[in-house]
Every structure is written in C-alpha cells, then in structure tokens.
Structure 1
C-alpha cells in the first residue's frame, strides 16, 4: 500500500489530521500498527494538555419526539467557535439530545455509560471521543 492510502486509512480510523497521520507513518516507517499506537499516545498527551482549559463555546440543541410527549434540551460545550459551528459537532449534540429524551438518564455520568440507542455496541462516551 502506498503512503497516501495509509494516511487515508489512519485518518478514517482515528480522525487525526492528515499532518499527524503522515508524521506517525514517517516515525513508524509505514508500520500501520505502530502509527496507530503513536497517534493514540499523542492523543492522550494532547488531551492531558487541554484538560485544564475551559470550554466556553458550544451549542444548544433540542430534540422533540414525533409524538410530542417527550423531548430534551441540551447545552454541549467545546473550546472553540470553530468546533461549535462544525456540522459534525451539531449532529453529535442532536444525537445526545435524542438519547437523553429516549433514555432519561439522571446524571451526566449515567448518560456517558448508556448504550447508544442507534448502535448498542457503542456508549455515549465512546461516541463523544
């Protein structure tokens, strides 16, 4: 497989930037498994750096069931307006609002541990990550 195909695979699987995927492949000498591990390590390091930063941007999303008997209003925060305006982020907010309306979790911790209603193999926590 050529480098471009490997970068595409890494990007699809991890969601990492093209530059990071390329860097990981170069450092791993095009070993896909090692590149995955590098990206995972770098992701954890980046997450730890960002842990102290405040999420001041975000969206408010609502979901009303078609029978009008249940609904949810959600505020989902992020660190930049660039992310808040992203369609993928807005879709995530919609999906979480629908999950809340359907499953009525009592706490955010309970919500994160719930199986995602569209795919029971995933949790809401894994959906967010």
Structure 2
C-alpha cells in the first residue's frame, strides 16, 4: 500500500551528508504536518548510541539514518548505515499505517540495514550490532 507521501530532496541531501560526507552522526525524518511529504526533523553531528536511543519521541513515529560504529567478529572497527523505523505502540492507528506505508519509499531513497523499533529496548546496541553482523555475511 502506497501512502502517496513524497520523500523530499532535503531528505536525499541529508542522507548523503551522513553516508558520503560523514557530516552528521544521524539524521531524523518525519511526516510533515500536512501529511504530504517526509521531511528532515533533526541533524546531529555528534552523539552516543544512548543519546540516539533517547532522541525518539514516545508519541510519534520517525525514521532515522544512523552512522553505526561497531567491531566485527574479528575485533576490527567497522561502520554501517542503519535505517531505524521508529513506531511506538502508543501512537494512533492512522499514524502507524501512514508510517508503515511511507517506509518503502524512504528505504529506496535511504538504503541501509533496517531496524524496526517500537520501544527503546528494541534499540539495544548489541542486538543491532548482531543484526548488522548477520546481514554482512
């Protein structure tokens, strides 16, 4: 199901600033107030994983592209872009449906390992790293 919500050029530019230029640690996106497009909500230059986890609102759906640093099984430093789909259970059904149906367009525009989360426990660093390691094999 397509929502008809467009990904703005600003989103594409922000994604590039994380991926290519490493200008930001993460960028957060949301659906605009008029429900017609996905826009940039925040750009953060420096952040710990814990600060990133805490940045998601309890009452709203978001997407975020995060420049994830980790060690592989051999102990080597690695880096991977992840796309976090944040959709808390507490938001209204209409907002959940809009977020879900808009995610496909964003995933095409902002590729990365997708992490779905509805609460902060699902953003456990070790579990996210394990998912990345599984997809990197």
TM-score (norm 2): 0.25
Tell me: higher relative CO, structure 1 or 2? Use CA pairs within 8 A at least 6 residues apart: 2
